[in-house]
Structure formats: C-alpha cells, structure tokens
Structure 1
C-alpha cells in the first residue's frame, strides 16, 4: 500500500514538472537586454553601460517593428555618472523606441537633449540602431557620431507558472526522499 502511495505522489510530481516545463506562455514575456556604448572619439571617450526591457506581446517577427513605452519599454543608462531612464528622452513618452526587422533587434532610438543620441540615423530618429552620437541640443543635425553600441542577447523572464511548477516538483521530491528515510 505504501508503494502505491509513493508511486501516486511521484507520478503527480513528475506530471506537474513536465506540465510546467512544457507549458507555453499565455502572456507576453518581458525581455531584457544589456548594452554597452563604446565611445572612441569626442569629448568623453570610454565605455558606458545600460539595460532595457520590454514586453514582447505585440511583436510579430514580420517586417519593421518598433516598441515603445506603451509596450513596457524601460531603460537605465549610466553616462558620465548620471543615470538616465526612458523618461529622460526628449520626446517621452513617444520615444524612446526599440526597433526590429523580421524579429531581429536593430537597437534603441534614444535621444537625451544636450547629451547623446543612440540610433543609426539622426535624420530618422524613429528607428533604432547601433551608433552613439554626442549631441549639443535636441537638434539632431548637431549629432556627431563618436562610437558604437553593442547589445547582448535578450532573454525572456520565466513565467511564474514555470517557476512554481519546478519548485513544487522539487519539494515533492524532497518530501518523498525524507519519507523514505
């Protein structure tokens, strides 16, 4: 009888863990990226670090797409000892944006007045990219490219159900091991 009870508990734990690991997220994932600015010329050469995250629920992976603050885009960027956020962008809340082509990250478009611009083309600030420019005002014509931006691979934040199922399976396993002793 004890063996049947243990077998039932073990079966339940395995079923929960398989369900949790194999479950497809029903909600959007929050994707995190780190980025590094490598300024090689201008008045402030050096490396500067930042990160951003967004919710990917509206991404289709087809064609050119932008996500902004309305999609949960948030940014933290430390430049010259000052911490900048998405609300530091000159056109907040319409900007900043993060851009994709066919699901592949192009980069940020992020303009902080009298400081910097991140994006490929100051003439088209609605498309992100991997260039870093110093800027003298909100006038994008004053942008002078001084470096590049590299982005790390974004990873979705695990769904709570997946984590919960994994924890439950682990606790059940420990319970069975303790019961056996």
Structure 2
C-alpha cells in the first residue's frame, strides 16, 4: 500500500490519495454426481469426503475471529487565534474497520469503511455529504500502523461560511489542525488544534454466567460431531446396500 500527493491545480487544494491492491480467491468447483450404477463404491468415497468437509467447515466457522467493529471517535476543535479564539466546537465520526489491517498507511471513507461525520460549528451541523470532494471519496480518516492520524474534512462556501479544513497528521505541506477561511482557491489559516478521543465501547461486558452451576448442557466437540455424522452416514449406506441385496434375491 502506498500514497502519493495529489495537487488539484484547478482549485489549489492538496488532498492525500492512497492506493491498494485487491485480492480475490476463486472458489473450488464441486464434482458432478457419480452414476447410480457405481453407487456402493462412490457413495462410501463421497461419504468420507462429505464428513470431512462438514467437520472442516465447522472448525473454520468456530475458529474464525470476529474482525468487524463499528468504532466512533469524538473530537473537539479548540480555536486559539483569530475571531473565534477561546471557543471550542465538537463533533464525531464513526466507521467500520473491517478493511483495516493495522499495517502501513490506510484510510476509511464514506465508500470504503462507511465513514460518517458530524461537526457542530457556528450553530450549524455539517456531515460527510458536504465535503467539497465528496464525489472523490472524501472526507477520509487516516491511520498509520493502526494509529489515528486524523480526519481530512474540507467544507467551503457557500456550504459553510467561513469555510474550514480538518488537516490530519502527515499531510504533505500542512501542519495538522483546524483551518478557517478555506475556499476553492485558498487553504485558509490554521487557527486551532483538534483533539480526538475514542468513544468507549457501549457494551457493559459479560453478565453473570448462566452456567455457573453446571446446569447447561455441554457443547459437543468437533470430533464428536464428526463421529456422529460418520456413524449416521454408515447406517444409511448399510440400509441402502441391504435393500439392494434383498431386491436381487427376490428377483
């Protein structure tokens, strides 16, 4: 994964662009059904294959970790210079981290990570849909090795007056912070800083153990499930073979 600096010469605003390679894995094709004439031999072969496949699927499902979380950061803009010096303004953003690896430089956006932004500024509320470059996949939240770098969020007149720009760490040509007076032709001036805080998990944690008195039935182990499936399948196969033999004797 790498990033490159992109200059929008028509509007003189730097925005950071990132690129990533997508990988796909082809699913194996299932084998066609064998003819009924070879049923005893093929059925036994398929029986063991099916049992092994079910057990493998069971193990995969039960060992696959849950990796998708919706995370929310609250942020506070602290104005230190200019007309609004001494004032603070708040907001928040939420995103789905399922595509983040925690390695290198990464980002989430409304189209890649379901990023949502709310910012309360001068008695108005701004959202991700009002970013000047929304059609290009902004705003974005950037990370370096899983650590938050910050929000890149640009709203200009007439949508916002004055316009503002959230600049994250490591943005080429900028000091991170909050900029005011942003337009299509100027960056504006840095007038304050932005503090981010991860919102605590609303899940209060596990409650009392309902099986503390060992009253709950034990969950069968994968090997027990495999044994049961194999035994059941063998019984079915034996019954089919018995019916075939009886039919041949009667004929």
Please report the TM-score for the alignment, with normalisation by the length of structure 2.
0.49
* Partner of residue 50 from structure 1, selected from 62, 82, 91: 91
Q: How does 1:21-170 map to 2 (within 5 A)?
A: 26=66, 28-45=68-85, 46-70=87-111, 71-93=113-135, 94-114=137-157, 115-120=163-168, 130-139=176-185, 141-155=186-200, 166=206
RMSD: 3.1
Q: Tell me the equivalent position of 2:36.
A: none
**Which sections of structure 2, spanning at least 5 residues, go unmatched?**
1-62, 158-162, 216-251
Runs of 4+ aligned structure 1 residues displaced above 3 Å come to 154-158, 166-170
Q: In structure 2, how many angstroms separate the alpha carbons of the residues matched to 1:72 and 1:120?
A: 19
- Contact preservation (8 Å) 1:30, 1:156: no
- Contact preservation (8 Å) 1:31, 1:157: no
> SS of the counterpart of 2:129?
helix
Q: Tell me the equivalent position of 1:6.
A: none
User: Which structure is higher in strand share?
Assistant: 1
**Which sections of structure 1, spanning at least 5 residues, go unmatched?**
1-22, 177-181
Larger radius of gyration: 2
Shift of 1:41: 1.1
Please report the TM-score for the alignment, with normalisation by the length of structure 1.
0.67
Aligned residues: 142
Deviations 1:57-106 (A, max 9, x none): 01111110011001110011100010001111111141000000010000
